Structure formats: structure tokens, C-alpha cells
Amino acid sequence: MSAAVPFLDLKAQYRAHREAIDAAISRVVDSASFILGSEVEQFETAFADYCGVRHVVGVGTGLDALRLILLEEGIGPGDEVIVPANTFIATALAVSAVGARPVLVDCRKEDSSIDPVQAEARVTPRTRALLPVHLYGLPAPMDELRRIAERGSILLVEDACQAHGARTPQGNRCGSLGKAAAFSFYPGKNLGAYGDGGAIATQDAELARRLRLRRNYGQSMKYHHAVAGENCRLDGLQASILLAKLSFLDAWNEQRRRVALRYCEALTDSAALPPAADQVPRSVWHLFVVQVEDREGFQAHLRQRGVETGIHYPVPIHLQPAYAHLGYSRGDFPVAESLAQRIVSLPIYPEMTEAQIETVIDAVLSWSPAPISRR
């Protein structure tokens, strides 16, 4: 039996925009331009304009985007890149993939984002880049991080894979705040493809030129290879779907904010601690994450009431076996470790009905353990 409130409902999104999406797919099938091509070029232009940058380069995945930025900026063995401990592992994997060392930093209690004070304390002569994540759709503290980067002549790269359309308080889009930014178009993202996809946003024309070579076997033209490149291209079908969806993105993000505001207002005194209400206008709410005691019991309680939930992320990077070689231990990043034991992601997507929103709220409010403190 399906849940009354699924964690995400991509079928509902497709039903609402079937005509535009089907037309986009048909264009590609009719043209048989499946790899790169005009649909990719059109999407790159449109997304660059949306993000407020001069260039977007479509690539295969968000991980490709992060990795290629670091690679083209000359980061490699012997270098260090500062990364939050509280993020999806792909942020660190990109650093490892170019041979550099991820240097992990704890997050702030108030918003789960990278702590700039601790980031600055981790800067060494080997530090080549800061790689903050706009976690859950909330912009990272970029003003503080930019000052750190400028003082140390350090590259500032955004992991914007969860922040399509998010803006800073000054009105600048995530994706335009550093030397370059990586986006993922995994299907569950605020702007999602129907498969893997990614992009790099930058103001730097020379970096964009090199990235276009690198993603496509290093070809300056077919069979003429200027560099030893690789195959990590955005395909035409995915680009056409993304282009069709892009015009709806701002409206979808507003609908996510509507759901987030309802949750924040309704759950203030519940046993599930919601994000601070002042985050509502600043985030695009890729995820709505609460904190609870007895997470397994809480999830089981909601499941019995037809509400699916998720966990983002249950194991901090420093406690992953893949990164045991970094030498970190339990207790090194206490905020990230505490969050990993308590966080639960509630359903949030633009197509949620009033009845579904109320079902989630009622299920959370009926959970009985005592509320936890923000302190």
C-alpha cells in the first residue's frame, strides 16, 4: 500500500507538466541529437541567465561538476580543500578524486551549515580551496567564507547541488557567489532531470572553455583533442527536460516555502524541533529537516500514519569507512555527530496538497516524547 504522503512525488510533477515535458522529449527524439547538441546549448544559456553568471557548462553529474572545477583549477596531490563534515559524501569524493585531501569542518548548531570560524582555523599553507555546501537549500555563510578566501588567496567553490534558485540576503543567486559552482540535476532536486545530470556555473570565460574541452574527450573539434579529456557530458534528453522545467522553478520554490512555513508555524512546540522560522524566506527547501529524540520510534510513528520520511545524512563523512584514512575520530565534530543521530527529513515538494500537509503536521504533533531544546 502506498503512503498517503510519499516523501517525494515525481509522478505528480510530471502529471502537472506532462505536455511541456513530452514536447521537450519529442524534440530531441525527432532531431536525434542525443549527446550535447542544441538542447544542451539552450539550457546552458538559460540556466546561466537564471543564475546570474556568464557561463554554464553541462556535465554528467553533480560529482563531475565538483571534480572538474577542482581539476581545472589545478588542485591535486599535496593540496587541501576545506569541506563540511555534515554533507553528502560527494562533496568530499570530488576532492579525493583529484588527489587532494578533504579537511573537514564542523557545522553550526543554528542552521547545520559549515562553521566559518572553524573553517578559518583549519586553513594551512596547503589550503587551496574552500568548498561550502548550500545545505538543504539554505545559502551557506558566503560573506564570511569569502573574507577567509580573500585573506588567504584561497579558491572559493560552491556546492550548490541542493540550492537551485536560492538567493543570498543581497539577492544574488547561489551559483554566482564563488569562482565556480556545481549543480546536480538528480531527479529529486528542486530542478531535476529524468536521470543523472549536472552543471558548472562560472563568470570565468577561460575556465568555461577548458571545462567544455575536458567534458568531451578534450575535443576542440571532432577527432582533434587539445587535452587529455574525459566523457562526462550532459545529454540532450536531460537538457531538454531541464529546460522545460526551468520556467517553473521559481514557482515551485515558492510552493516549497509555503509548505515550510506551515511546518515551522505548526511544529514550534512539538517534540520535533523544526528549523528556525527566519530560514523560511532564505531557503529553497530542498529538504525540511527536523530534530527528534528516538528517531526510529518517530519514523515508525509517522509511517503508521502514512507519512514517509528520510534521513539526510545519518553518518558524517569522518565516520564513513571510506574516509577512515583521514585519521578523524568520533567526537571530532560534535555538532555534525549529534545531528546525524537526531535528524529526520519530512515530505516537502511543490505538489503537496493541503490534506497531505495536514496529515504530516497531525502525525508529528501526535508524537509524544518531550520537546528538545535549541540550546
pLDDT digits (tens, 9 = 90+) for 187-232: 999 999 999 999 999 999 999 999 999 999 999 889 999 999 999 9
Asked whether residue 265 falls in the same domain as residue 213, the answer is: no
pLDDT digits (tens, 9 = 90+) for 4-18: 999 999 999 999 999
Distance of CA 239 to the CA centre of its chain: 18
Asked whether residue 207 falls in the same domain as residue 254, the answer is: no
Reply yes or no on whether the pLDDT at 371 is more than 90: no
Asked whether 93 and 65 are in contact (CB, 8 A), the reply is no
Q: Looking at the domain assignment, is residue 144 inside a domain?
A: yes
Q: Looking at the domain assignment, is residue 1 inside a domain?
A: no
Asked whether residue 283 falls in the same domain as residue 330, the answer is: yes
Residues 6+ apart with CB under 8 A from 41: none
**CATH code assigned at 142:** 3.40.640.10
Q: Looking at the domain assignment, is residue 374 inside a domain?
A: no
CA distance 268 to 15: 34
Q: Looking at the domain assignment, is residue 148 inside a domain?
A: yes
Indicate the pLDDT class of residue 140, thresholds 50, 70 and 90. Answer: very high
Which pLDDT score is estimated for 355? Answer: 97
Reply yes or no on whether the pLDDT at 93 is more than 80: yes
Which pLDDT score is estimated for 372? Answer: 57
Asked whether 345 and 312 are in contact (CB, 8 A), the reply is yes
For residue 313, say if its preceding peptide bond is cis, omega within 30 degrees of 0. Answer: yes
Distance of CA 161 to the CA centre of its chain: 3
Asked whether residue 82 falls in the same domain as residue 230, the answer is: yes
CA distance 199 to 233: 9
Asked whether residue 104 falls in the same domain as residue 204, the answer is: yes
Single-letter amino acid code for the residue at 352? M
Reply yes or no on whether the pLDDT at 308 is more than 80: yes
pLDDT digits (tens, 9 = 90+) for 114-128: 999 999 999 999 999
- Residue 146, classed as helix, strand or coil, is helix
Question: Own/partner pairs for 216-221, CB < 8 Å, 24+ apart?
Answer: 216/36
Q: What are phi and psi of 367, to 5 degrees?
A: -80, 130
Which pLDDT score is estimated for 373? Answer: 57
Asked whether residue 40 falls in the same domain as residue 136, the answer is: yes
DSSP code of residue 9: -
pLDDT digits (tens, 9 = 90+) for 280-299: 999 999 999 999 999 999 99
Q: What is the mean pLDDT of residues 125-149?
A: 98
Q: Looking at the domain assignment, is residue 339 inside a domain?
A: yes
Which pLDDT score is estimated for 113? Answer: 97
Sign of CA dihedral 135, 140, 145, 149: positive
Reply yes or no on whether the pLDDT at 264 is more than 80: yes
Indicate the pLDDT class of residue 31, thresholds 50, 70 and 90. Answer: very high
Pick from 246, 268, 298: which residue ends a domain?
A: 246
Asked whether residue 319 falls in the same domain as residue 306, the answer is: yes
Single-letter amino acid code for the residue at 44? E
Which DSSP string do the residues of 279-302 spell out, in sequence order? GTTT---S-EEEE-SSHHHHHHHH
Asked whether residue 192 falls in the same domain as residue 297, the answer is: no
CA distance 147 to 121: 13
Task: Give the total number of structural domains in the chain.
Answer: 2
Of 229, 235, 208, 234, which Cα lies nearest the Cα of 48? 208
Q: What is the mean pLDDT of residues 339-346?
A: 98
CA distance 153 to 77: 19
Which pLDDT score is estimated for 368? Answer: 84
The proportion of the chain whose per-residue pLDDT surpasses 90, expressed as a percent, equals 96
Pick from 246, 267, 300: which residue ends a domain?
A: 246
Asked whether residue 135 falls in the same domain as residue 168, the answer is: yes
Q: Which domain holds residue 110?
A: 10-246
Q: Looking at the domain assignment, is residue 254 inside a domain?
A: yes
Q: What is the mean pLDDT of residues 43-52?
A: 98
DSSP code of residue 238: H
Asked whether residue 272 falls in the same domain as residue 160, the answer is: no
Cell of 193: 532531470
Asked whether residue 325 falls in the same domain as residue 199, the answer is: no
Residues 6+ apart with CB under 8 A from 139: 163, 166, 167, 168, 174, 177, 282, 283
CA distance 358 to 361: 5
Q: What is the mean pLDDT of residues 56-68?
A: 98
Average pLDDT, the chain: 96
Asked whether residue 203 falls in the same domain as residue 266, the answer is: no
Indicate the pLDDT class of residue 253, thresholds 50, 70 and 90. Answer: very high
Query: 1-5, 118-122, 169-173, 237-241: which range is least confident on average?
Result: 1-5
Of 136, 142, 145, which Cα lies nearest the Cα of 164? 136
**CATH code assigned at 308:** 3.90.1150.10
What residues does 291 pair with on adjacent strands? 273, 343
- Residue 243, classed as helix, strand or coil, is helix
Which pLDDT score is estimated for 315? Answer: 97
Indicate the pLDDT class of residue 2, thresholds 50, 70 and 90. Answer: low
Pick from 221, 246, 271: which residue ends a domain?
A: 246
Which pLDDT score is estimated for 209? Answer: 98
Q: In what helix (H) or strand (E) does residue 219 lie, and over which residues does it extend? A: strand 219-221
pTM (predicted TM-score): 0.96
Q: Looking at the domain assignment, is residue 48 inside a domain?
A: yes
